[in-house]
Amino acid sequence: MRIDIVTIFPEFFSVLDVSLLGRARQSGIIDLGVHDLRDYAYDRHRTVDDTPYGGGAGMVMRPEPWGDAIDGILYASEGRGIVDPVILFPSPAGELFTQSLAQQLSTEQQLVFGCGRYEGIDQRVVDYAATRARVKLVSMGDYVLNGGEVATMAMIEAIGRLIPGVIGNPASLVEESHSDGLLEYPSYTKPATWRGLAVPPVLMGGNHGAIAAWRREQQLERTRRVRPDLLPPE
Ligand code: ADE
């Protein structure tokens, strides 16, 4: 998968050199391009924002650098033979980013992340991008971040680990929170007793049917307790 990121903080994404995603990049499963929006600014101060039309607090990102950055990325994509990229703008006003959306996006050829700062990006950037590619505004949840960078990192991690070959043991993707609509069951390892706390005996009995039933019950209990919204209406 090709991933492009447009940001005014390119150094933020140096963490993508390490860990599972770093290895996926080295092995060529993920091909990453990080673009400094200021390289596309029009003035020598490399300005990328301005005051909002209609007034109000804060600054809005100007459309021209964004337009040029998007054009450059899509031009390079054509050269790479990529046909139908997806451009994602992290925004608290977007659709909620879920495991199911991560699954869908993990099958794409190319994802472009546009990280807005300040009070947002001029709306015409999103409208223009939608004339060139499939576009989505995506939110990490009902809270406000300072910009799209942290949201982009989270999305790349959630999507990247679903790409075949990124995680060594694909079975570990099957039994985890949200993969079947429920929260994950609790896990234990050795020692059998630690600081007076014992591992549930069912896990040590070797009865696989009983273990599966216990784990299912734990999933349901946890989900009922902390995330009843995930359960179907009774
Ligand atoms: N940018 C600012 N807040 C955000 C959020 N909650 N999700 C995605 N992008 C954001």
Which ligand 1 atom is nearest residue 142's CA?
Answer: 6
Residues 80-99 have a mean pLDDT of 96
**Would you place residue 80 in the very low, low, confident or very high pLDDT band (cuts 50, 70, 90)?**
very high
Contact criterion met (CB below 8 Å) for 156 and 150: no
Q: What does residue 43 show for φ and ψ, rounded to 5 degrees?
A: -120, 170
Return the closest-CA partner of residue 89 out of 113, 68, 109. 113
Hey, what's the torsion of the CAs at 227, 162, 75, 114, to 10 degrees? Answer: 30
Strand partners, 88: 113, 136
Q: Tell me what pLDDT residue 183 has.
A: 95
pLDDT of the residue at 118: 72
Q: How confident is the model at residue 37 (pLDDT cuts 50, 70, 90)?
A: very high
Atom of ligand 1 nearest to the CA of 140: 7
Residue with token string 């139908």: 84
* CB neighbour class for 149 (10 Å; exposed up to 12, middle 13-18, buried from 19): buried
Q: What is the 15 CA–ligand 1 centroid distance (Å)?
A: 20
Which residue CA neighbors atom 4 of ligand 1 most closely?
Answer: 92
> Which numbered atom of ligand 1 lies nearest the CA of 91?
9
Peptide bond into 170 cis (omega under 30): no
Distance CA 213, CA 202 (A): 10
Residue having the nearest C-alpha atom to atom 10 of ligand 1: 91
Q: Choose which residue among 136, 139, 143, 149 to substitute to test ligand 1 binding: the one with the highest number of ligand atoms within 8 A of its C-beta.
A: 139
Confidence (pLDDT) at 91:
97
Q: Which three-class secondary structure string do you get for the chain?
A: CEEEEEECCHHHHHHHHCHHHHHHHHCCCCEEEEEEHHHHCCCCCCCCEECCCCCCCCCEECHHHHHHHHHHHHHHHHHHCCCCCEEEEEEEEEEECCHHHHHHHCCCCEEEEECCCCCCECHHHHHHHHHHCEEEEEECCCCCCCCCHHHHHHHHHHHHCCCCCCCCCHHHHCCCCCCCCCCCCCCCCCCCEECCEECCHHHHCCCHHHHHHHHHHHHHHHHHHHCHHHCCCC
pLDDT above 70 covers a percentage of the chain that reads 100
Residue nearest to atom 5 of ligand 1 (CA): 92
How many angstroms separate the CA atoms of 30 and 21, rounded? 8
What residues does ligand 1 touch, defined as CB less than 6 Å away?
Answer: 90-92, 139-141, 143-145, 147-148, 151
pLDDT score, position 233: 87
pLDDT of residue 124: 98
Q: What is the mean pLDDT of the chain?
A: 95
- Nearest protein CA to atom 6 of ligand 1, as residue: 92
What pLDDT, on a 0 to 100 scale, did the predictor assign at position 174? 77
The rounded Å distance from CA 197 to ligand 1 centre is 40
Confidence at 25, pLDDT banded by 50, 70, 90:
very high
Please give the residue that has the higher pLDDT: either 176 or 159.
159
Residue 34, pLDDT score: 97
Q: What is the pLDDT of residue 117?
A: 86
Q: How far apart are CA 98 and CA 95, in angstroms?
A: 9
Q: What is the pLDDT of residue 187?
A: 97
Based on its alpha-carbon atoms, the radius of gyration of the chain, rounded to whole angstroms, reads 22
Inter-residue contact 105 to 41 (CB < 8 Å): no
**Which residues have CB under 8 Å from 214's CB, separation 6+?**
185, 200, 202, 203
